[in-house]
Homo-oligomer: A and B are copies of this chain.
Amino acid sequence: MRARVHITLKSGVLDPQGEAIRHALGALGFDGVERVRQGKVIELELADADPEAARARVREMCEKLLANTVIENYQIEIL
């Protein structure tokens, strides 16, 4: 089973890398790019057979290791 976790900065947290990309796109002539946010994506291959058990385990991985929940949100997809 595969799981994908998106980890993004919470909306109030300044994102310098996203801002750098937004300015760079403008400088390269890409108009109308209103906002850019950069995050991480972590893809896991798991031995679990049960999607709900896998999701619960991945949630625990996020809380314990993968995300800094003070400044980051995470979102889990089981594929």
Residues of A bordering B, CB below 8 Å? 6, 8, 13-28, 30-48, 57, 60-61, 64-68, 70-71
| A–B complex contacts, Cβ < 8 Å, 19 sampled | A8-B43, A15-B68, A16-B66, A16-B68, A20-B21, A20-B65, A21-B24, A27-B27, A33-B44, A36-B42, A36-B45, A37-B42, A37-B43, A38-B40, A38-B42, A39-B40, A39-B41, A41-B41, A71-B71
Residues of B within 8 A of A28 (CB): 23, 61, 64-65
Residue of B with least CB distance to A71: B71
Q: Shortest CB–CB separation between residue A66 and chain B, in angstroms?
A: 6
**Inter-chain contacts of A6 with B (CB < 8 A):** 41
